[in-house]
């Protein structure tokens, strides 16, 4: 046999092997993806989108997860700014939650000041699973 025939046979065999490997990979089930229920939350102790009243420099409310809580839990991030003005008010980090109700305490609220509070919640196991952020206003009325 000539070299040309050997190369043709070798190339044909390589193409058949490549096609067979490709078919096997397509037929395999992909690795399971961590499916989580979409996060749904509500706030208790405040009315979202409305003005709320604090009677001193701290104020506690609850974040309630109404969907199934992800296995690894959730992360809550607070953004507290003066309203109007948008000057940030530093807050302690909220501990990661694994239950349906997480207590959150706002601190350092100045007398007769109004703050816009944005509560963001995301899954610790799936960064794409993010709840719609919720906002409310809070005014410390202790100086009135």
Element (H, E) at 62: strand 59-65
pLDDT exceeds 80 at position 128 = yes
Lowest mean pLDDT among 45-49, 59-63, 75-79, 132-136: 45-49
Rounded Cα distance, 71 and 128, in Å: 15
pTM over 0.95: no
pLDDT exceeds 90 at position 24 = no
Token pair, residue 12, equals 């044909």
End-to-end CA distance of the chain: 103
In tens, the pLDDT along 67-124 reads: 999 999 999 999 999 999 999 999 999 999 999 999 999 999 999 999 999 999 999 9
Mean pLDDT along residues 22-44: 72
pLDDT exceeds 70 at position 27 = no
Can you say whether the dihedral through the CA atoms of 74, 76, 77, 79 is positive or negative?
positive
Element (H, E) at 140: strand 134-140
Q: 41-140 has which fold? A: Immunoglobulin-like (2.60.40)
CA distances from 39 to 5, 36, 66, 102, 126 (A): 63, 8, 8, 14, 11
Position 9 scores a pLDDT of: 73
Q: 118: which DSSP letter? A: E
What are the start and end residues of each CATH 2.60.40.10 domain in the chain?
A: 41-140
Position 12 scores a pLDDT of: 75
Burial of 143 (0-12, 13-18, 19+ CB in 10 A): exposed
């Amino acid at each position: 046999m000539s070299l040309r025939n050997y190369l043709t046979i070798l190339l044909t065999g390589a193409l058949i092997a490549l096609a067979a490997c490709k078919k096997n990979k397509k037929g395999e089930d992909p690795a399971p993806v961590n499916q989580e229920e979409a996060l749904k939350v509500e706030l208790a102790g405040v009315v979202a989108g409305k003005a709320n009243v604090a009677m001193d420099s701290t104020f506690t409310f609850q974040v309630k997860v109404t969907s199934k809580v992800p296995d690894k839990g959730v992360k809550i991030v607070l953004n507290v700014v003066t309203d109007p003005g948008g000057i940030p008010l530093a807050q302690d980090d909220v501990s990661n939650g694994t239950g349906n109700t997480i207590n959150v305490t706002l601190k350092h609220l100045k007398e007769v000041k109004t703050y816009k509070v944005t509560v963001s919640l995301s899954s610790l196991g799936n960064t794409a699973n993010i709840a719609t952020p919720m906002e409310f206003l809070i005014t410390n009325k202790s100086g009135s």
